Amino acid sequence: MTEEAAGSIENLSFEQALAELETIVRNLEQGNVPLEKSIELYARGEALREKCDGLLKAAEEKVEKIQMNTSGNAVGTEALDEQ
């Protein structure tokens, strides 16, 4: 995959990346994509899957950081550690 293609994935939201990944999966499942194009689509799909996975993990970490007050109500979030 080219740097330009990888960079375009970096800027996608979770919803955009997931929608594109679903489109790629549909195209590959139909089986009417030439071999070289299939390989390109597969590589982009893998990059999109990694993007979605990273965004989901970040969201999960944020949810885990929600602070609760003494009565069990959410009062805010802690800053996530930079990694």
For position 82, what pLDDT does the model report? 55
Match 């299939």 to its residue by tokens. Answer: 38
Quick one: pLDDT at residue 62?
A: 84
- CB of 78 closer than 8 Å to CB of 65: yes
pLDDT at 3: 61
Nearest to 25 by CA among 39, 10, 45: 45
**What pLDDT is recorded for position 63?**
82
Return the CATH architecture of domain 3-77: Orthogonal Bundle (1.10)
Domain ranges of the chain: 3-77
Q: What does the pLDDT average to over 25-44?
A: 96
Model confidence at 69: pLDDT above 70: no
pLDDT at 80 over 60: no
Looking at residue 11, the DSSP 8-state letter turns out to be T
